[in-house]
Amino acid sequence: MNSPKPLILASGSEIRRALLQNSGVTFEVIVGRIDEESVKDALLSEGATPREIADALAEGKARKVSMKHPEAMVIGCDQVLSFKGRLISKAKDIKEARALLGEMRGERHSLLSAAVIYENGEPKWRHVGEVRLTMNALSEAYLDAYLERNWDSIRHAVGCYKLEEEGVRLFSRIDGDYFTVLGLPLLPLLAYLSQRGMIAS
């Protein structure tokens, strides 16, 4: 089936790219770069919720690429972590990661993964998936060893873990969609692409 228009993923995430490729979707990647920290800070100062922040970041990336490629359908994505009412950003270094994991162990937090589709510079579809994760009461020794083994892989991961890797051992319970944990609400996205005739169904 030939797509009626080009499809662009405005994300540099390897796992998002793999999820779409493995689904048999034809697309190209053009990364939509925005100043995420400035956007987060501005929204937090206005009292925005983590859900609203995830949505706004995804929309910003989709909008930026769509302005340069109005003929395409552009997918923007982002993911944020909410813990005890506050937004958690990527750890700056292994020391900060260790402090964060120490605080989150034995507790529950939420991952919110947003996807927004733009066409002709305008938003056409959006979805924010939420997953609740409960972390094991991990020992000090295990956390130290975990970070030592995995830091190169997880240094850019929100929450300092990847569920598709050893990070799965950090958790006792996960409530929600696996793809959303990985950073893409894949099933709702595929349903929309099918509805629009972008993929066969």
In-domain check, residue 201: no
pLDDT value at position 58? 97
pLDDT value at position 90? 87
Q: What is the pTM of this model?
A: 0.91
* Residue-number span of the structural domain to which 182 is assigned: 7-196
Residue 167 CA to residue 140 CA, distance in Å, equals 16
What mean pLDDT comes out for the span 8-27? Answer: 96
User: Greater confidence, 36 or 108?
Assistant: 108
Three-state SS at 124: strand
- Condensed to tens digits (0 to 9), the pLDDT of residues 120-149 reads 999 999 999 999 999 999 999 999 999 999
Whether the predicted pLDDT of 1 surpasses 90: no
What mean pLDDT comes out for the span 91-113? Answer: 96
Amino acid at site 91: A
Q: Which of 98, 85, 106 is nearest to 159 (CA)?
A: 98
Q: Which of 106, 110, 113, 50 is nearest to 78 (CA)?
A: 113
Whether the predicted pLDDT of 172 surpasses 70: yes
pLDDT, averaged across the chain: 95
* Overall domain count for the chain: 1
Q: Both tokens of residue 185?
A: 């609400």
In-domain check, residue 35: yes
Strand partners, 7: 73
In-domain check, residue 97: yes
Q: Could you give the residue numbers annotated as active site?
A: 78
CATH code of 61's domain: 3.90.950.10
Q: Are 131 and 109 in contact (CB under 8 A)?
A: no
Amino acid at site 152: D
In-domain check, residue 25: yes
Residue 45 CA to residue 182 CA, distance in Å, equals 28
Q: How would you class 50 by CB atoms within 10 Å of its CB: exposed for 0-12, middle for 13-18, buried for 19 or more?
A: buried
- Condensed to tens digits (0 to 9), the pLDDT of residues 38-76 reads 999 999 999 999 999 999 999 999 999 999 999 999 999
In-domain check, residue 1: no
